[in-house]
Amino acid sequence: MEMLNTIGLFLQSTVQMGTILLFATLGGILCERVGHLNLGIEGMMLMGAVIGFYTGYHTGNGWVAFAAAAVAGGFGALIYAVITVTFLGNQTVTGLVLSIFGTGFSSFVGLPLSTVTMPQSAMAPFRAFKVPLLSKIPVLGPAIFEQSVYVHIGLILAIVMYVYLNKTRFGLNLRAIGENPASADASGINITLYKYIHIIIGGMLCGLGGAYLTLVYVPLWQDGITSGMGWIAVTLIIFSTWNPLKAIISAYLFGALRSIGFKLQNIQIPKIGGGTFILNSQLLNMLPYIMTIVVLVIIALRKKREEQPPGWLSLPYYREDR
Amino acid sequence: MFRIVKRQDMSSRYSSALRIGSIFAALLFTALIIILLGYNPIQVYFKIVEGSLFSKFRITQTIHKMIPLITLSLGCAVAFKMKFWNIGAEGQFYLGALGATYIALNYGSLPPYILLPIMFLAGFICGALWALISALLRTAFGASETLVTLMLNYIATNIIMYLQYGPWKDPAARGFAKIARFSPNAWLPTIFGVQSGWIITVVLVILIYFMFAKTRLGYQIQVIGENTQTARYAGMNVNKILIIAVILSGGICGIAGMMQASGVEHSLTYELSAGLGFTAVITAWLARLDPLSIVVVSTLFSILLQGGTYIQTALQVPSSIAGIIQGVILFFVLASDFFVNYKIIRVKKENAGTAVPVSKGE
Amino acid sequence: MSKYDIELINISKSFGIVKANSEISLSIAPGEIHALLGENGSGKSTLMNILSGIYTPDEGIIKLDGNEVKFNSPSDSIAAGIGMVHQHFKLVDVMSATENILLGLPGGLFIKPKKAAKSIKAVADKYGLKIDLSKKVYEMSVSEKQTVEIMKVLYRGARILILDEPTAVLTPQEIVSLFGILRNMKSSGCSIIIITHKLNEVMEISDRVTVLHKGRSIKTLVTSETDMTELTTLMVGKPISLEIKRAEVDSELKKPILQVTDLTVHNIDKREALDGMSFTLNSGEILGVAGIAGSGQKELCETIAGLQRASSGDVIYKGQSIIKMNPRDIIKKGITMSFIPEDRLGMGLVAGMSIIDNVILKKVQMQKGIIVDRKVGKKAAERIIKRFGIDTPSTHTIVRKLSGGNIQKVLLGREIEMNPELLITAYPVRGLDIGASYNIYDILNEQKTKGVGILFIGEDLDVLLSLCDRIMVIHSGKNMGIVDAKSTTKEKLGLMMLGQNPDDQAS
């Protein structure tokens, strides 16, 4: 029973860590599906995280903070969209710059926030609550049904996005844009509008991913709080083959890796021939990054057509180019 | 009504003017932001210049940023020319510093003329090996080097943290988690009041310039960067050249780390780079990978960074404003590139008689 | 009511310094098939892209049923009942036919694939189109893709259909069936504009024909009142014979130079790109290769050049196996390959570098020392420019800035400067106008008389028939047989390209 409890708690923290990655991955999927590689996820997450915290701290209202975080992420994405969609700027560089900008922006806004704590009223809407009956399921119950509503929003979004992409007319059109904008254009689709909308919504989701840290998970502000999760999300987008449902699995998987780092800190492993080797947090913190590299190799080996990126990913499109 | 049309070929003078113009536009735009934040932009800009150039000490500080920044940008440029997106300058910098530190801590009693070259070599090799991981994963499996090098950055910082808090913690530091200071034998000497790394940097600038302008390797790297298919077609061993260039790229970044540890900090900390590895990616790109422009751009960025730390104390403006200014400048430059190839023209308003609904697009 | 469906009046359009259309006028009557005839680069596609809303004209007026309209985007043009089948199909490869047809159409939030399929089928039956709606585009043959494109236009209820070089990629048999469909559409009231540079097709299918030359509309004629000679003169701008000469070579020169035996090559996705292919190429001959696009042409070139690895089989050059050699050693042996891909710059040239740097591309690999020798390169570049009449301001000009014909001459020139004994060339005249094309044919003939063995991969069957000595037909990586170019027919080649044995049919 004790063992089950531990596993339950571990899964709970896995899902929490996974939620951050899930939002960011979903945001990235939306953006890449219209053919835009946005390496600014880390930046947009930080913008969302700091603005969410700032708003929560000043208004004391969690939902207002939630909305503000989305707007902040969406604003970052808007900058990206103006440069890459309208001005046909290099997507890789623009994304990197957005990450640098987001980092600078967040530490600028965040400087006075590093010593304050979030008012209880702002955290209230996101407190974990038990879904009746379902939370009684052993192990899985507490992991999924004894969580913040934030976690559930993430899950629902993933499912909605899956249906949107695969079953609706808008989904069909936006996938076509990512695969071959010239054919989408010739079919009379308003490419620019589609791109703007989906890049911005994608950025909003990234902002919400970052804000989960400052509104629910930690909830404090510290510089660079996302610690590279935006980059991991970029990998998870590929790992989940641009499929929102698979994004749930891959995000939670990496959530687990990060949880291990926190749960197994300072465990002493006996060395052969006496003495102990201390598995300290710095070493364990490397785990998700190392696993990301492993995943990058695995996905590079995939050759199936269905697992390839959108055909026009990271390429500019200008109608009158010959 | 406005329309976008493709330009005919543009003179390089025009495109340079465009770039400089966009930087000024960005500074104007940032000035607006600064006003909105409640500060005086003229004062902020002035203090940035003052804080980076107006005393011998401050100039030294600025140069101490320039040396690693130029070196790192050169390292990035070598890989970028091949369209190998090595975003790992930061990690390669740390590994280079780590290699040099290992030598300095263990063989500190060797005379400088033996010790320093070994440290230099160790810096190059460690940085190169760290970069080599991404090159091998790319050539063997096709893994994306952008993300691999990014992950390697985080791993590198964690390694340094681990060493600093663990095995390499200086027992003499009374519980403070820091790595011991190098023996003076392991310090790069000062020449004209600044660490002598600048000589190495100047030599590197010249070498890289020469490499791209005249040598076979430089030519091959550029062909691969432009068109891998053509390179293979012409009989180049693309993977081999790619690996050589990445080793060079990582090695140069490693040298930057060695110089910073040995010439400035005289030790190693996990904050040694102060993020210059990321800035270098941008400066290299902004300089269009041209070694001489890298010197100019890196100088400007060093002034911005050094001045940024100064205004925090002088005006209580957070130093991260420098990061925002950087971002805005880059956004403007990125957008301005559009006008190298396209122009917006005004179209006379057409008379009525439109039988079809005019679309919302365009 | 106007007597024309569509009128284009004084349309002009420039791309940078290139004036693609200048003051072109064209009018399309209801229910007619109107051919737009002109060489490559005469502005046909640009004009039609303007009509379909992809390009915005600099000047000029478009009238629809007598009313002036303005197309700001393709959706305006679609709404006006105009549909275009582009030369390079605009289909999404990973999607099915149905999905491609439904793209961009208005309707409910959710897609109902079954219902959609039913209504598409109904339209298809009306015009006699055969189509597998659930098939993914990447699994389709060229003619199937074309059917999807036509279907897409018809399903949108277009009454004016534009087809850009629809026959370029089809076999003679497929062309016959395409023309059947076009006649069906005409009889149900559609107007059709067909872009082509082939005179016999103009004569066969069109009611009227408008000839374009160098971006201007020269004349519109009623097809039945003109003939091929008049059209040729209008199209080229001067009286000219369109005959391609076949150089005759002493039979002593002809010795086997390249022997390919049982060559099998697999693609990344493990499919057989070449399947047990065997043939022999002689010195002093041009061996043509005919086949539907994607039948293994690229893989054949690349395997001989050492860029792709074979799974089995052998390539023997002058008695020595080269199958295991790397590209560099193969180049040293005197084999050169030039492949002009659809974008014309993909392989062999570095678009962003100067002519000199492109000319030295292969030499750099052979030379010793660390410093690139650009002096030799400059001399070679000057020689090539002179010999092949390349129009360029200097040897330092960036290749991308040259015109298509000149770019191709740089590539071919560099290869021929290397004095090869075996010349592999794929689509060397792709996108060139008639003058430039004939220039290239002359160069190939000249090489042939010098005793060079030439493997010529082509698209246009007429060219293959008149230029080559023998023609090998390939179909999904297999050699369907080698025929004598002097005695065979287009129809026979067409059947072989479709994978059928023509002798079976005859009997």
Q: What is the ipTM of this complex?
A: 0.88
Low-confidence ranges of chain B (pLDDT < 70): 1-2, 8-11, 346-362
> At residue A125, does pLDDT exceed 70?
yes
Query: Are the C-beta atoms of A242 and A32 separated by less than 8 Å?
Result: yes
Kindly report, residue by residue over C220-271, the tens digit of the pLDDT.
999 999 999 999 999 988 888 878 888 888 877 788 999 999 999 998 777 8
pLDDT digits (tens, 9 = 90+) for C317-341: 999 999 999 999 999 888 888 777 7
- In chain A, pLDDT over 70 holds for what percent of residues? 93
Nearest chain C residue to B226, by CA: C350
* Beta bridge pairs of residue B179: B169
Instruction: Look at residue B353 in the predicted model and tell me its pLDDT.
Output: 38
User: What is the topology classification, in CATH, of domain A2-307?
Assistant: ABC transporter involved in vitamin B12 uptake, BtuC (1.10.3470)
Whole-number pLDDT of residue A262: 62
Domains defined for chain C, CATH in brackets: 6-236 (3.40.50.300), 243-334+420-507 (3.40.50.300), 348-419 (no CATH)
Q: Does B156 touch chain A (CB under 8 A)?
A: no
pLDDT of the residue at C347:
73
Task: Grade residue A267 by pLDDT with cuts at 50, 70 and 90.
Answer: low
CB neighbour class for C348 (10 Å; exposed up to 12, middle 13-18, buried from 19): buried
Give B304-358 pLDDT, tens digit per residue.
999 988 988 888 888 888 888 888 988 999 888 888 878 777 665 444 334 343 3
Which pLDDT value is given to residue A272? 60
Distance, CA of A189 to CA of B340 (rounded, Å): 28
* Alpha carbon of B350: minimum distance to chain C alpha carbons (Å): 9
| CA distance to partner chain A, nearest, from residue B322 (Å) | 8
Q: Check residue B356 and give its pLDDT.
A: 41
Determine the residue of chain A that is closest to C138 in CA distance.
Answer: A305
C-chain CB neighbours of A315 within 8 Å are none
- DSSP states of C157-168: T-SEEEEESTTT
DSSP string, B70-115: HHHHHHHHHHHTTT-----HHHHHHHHHHHHHHHHHHSTTS-HHHH
Q: Are A199 and A81 in contact (CB under 8 A)?
A: yes
Residue among B142, B328, B360 minimizing CB distance to A193: B360
- The span from the CA of C241 to the CA of B211, in Å, is 53
- What are the distances in angstroms from CA C453 to CA C336, C405, C419? 11, 24, 12
In a mutagenesis test of the A interface, which of B328, B331, B339 is the best target, namely the one with the most A β-carbons within 10 Å?
A: B331
**What is the per-residue pLDDT for B352?**
38
pLDDT at A281: 72
The reported pLDDT for the residue numbered B354 is 41
The full 3-state SS of C333-359, as one line of letters, equals CCEEEEECCCCCCCCCCCCCCEHHHHH
- Is the Cβ pair B327, A191 closer than 8 Å? no
What stretches of C197-255 adopt beta strand conformation (E)?
Answer: 208-213, 216-222
* Chains touching A by CB (3 or more pairs below 8 Å): B, C
Asked if C292 contacts C475 with a C-beta cutoff of 8 angstroms, the reply is yes
Spell out the residues 6+ positions from residue B171 whose beta carbon is closer than 8 angstroms to its own: none
CB B299 within 8 A of CB B66: yes
- What is the structure's pLDDT at A277? 59
Q: Which one of B323, B334, B361 has the shortest CB-CB distance to A90?
A: B334
Q: A183 and C269 in contact by Cβ < 8 A?
A: no
Q: What is the DSSP string of C83-120?
A: EEE-SS----TTSBHHHHHHTT----SB--HHHHHHHH
Question: Domain extents for chain B?
Answer: 67-286
Q: In chain C, which stretches have pLDDT less than 50?
A: 505-507
Domain segments of chain A as ranges:
2-307
Cβ of A166 under 8 Å from any chain C Cβ?
no
Specify the pLDDT at position C356: 95
Q: What is the pLDDT of residue B8?
A: 61
Taking CB atoms and an 8 Å cutoff, what residues of chain B touch A105?
320, 323-324, 327
Which residue spans within C111-184 are E strands per DSSP?
160-164
> How many other C-beta atoms are found inside a 10 Å radius of the C-beta of residue A159?
12
Name the residue among C366, C360, C420 with its Cα closest to residue B219.
Answer: C360
CB contact under 8 A, C100 and A183: yes
User: Considering the entire predicted model, what is its pTM?
Assistant: 0.90
Quote the minimal CA–CA distance from C283 to chain B in Å.
Answer: 23
Contact B353 C68 (CB under 8 A): yes
Residue B346, classed as helix, strand or coil, is: strand
Cross-chain Cβ contact A190/C90 below 8 Å: no
Distances, alpha carbon B70 to alpha carbons B63, B119, B281, C428, in Å: 10, 20, 11, 46
Q: What's the confidence (pLDDT) of residue A276?
A: 59
Q: What confidence tier does A5 reach under pLDDT thresholds 50, 70, 90?
A: confident
**pLDDT reported for residue C494:** 93
How distant, in Å, are the alpha carbons of B138, B150, C233, C299 from that of B243?
10, 18, 57, 27
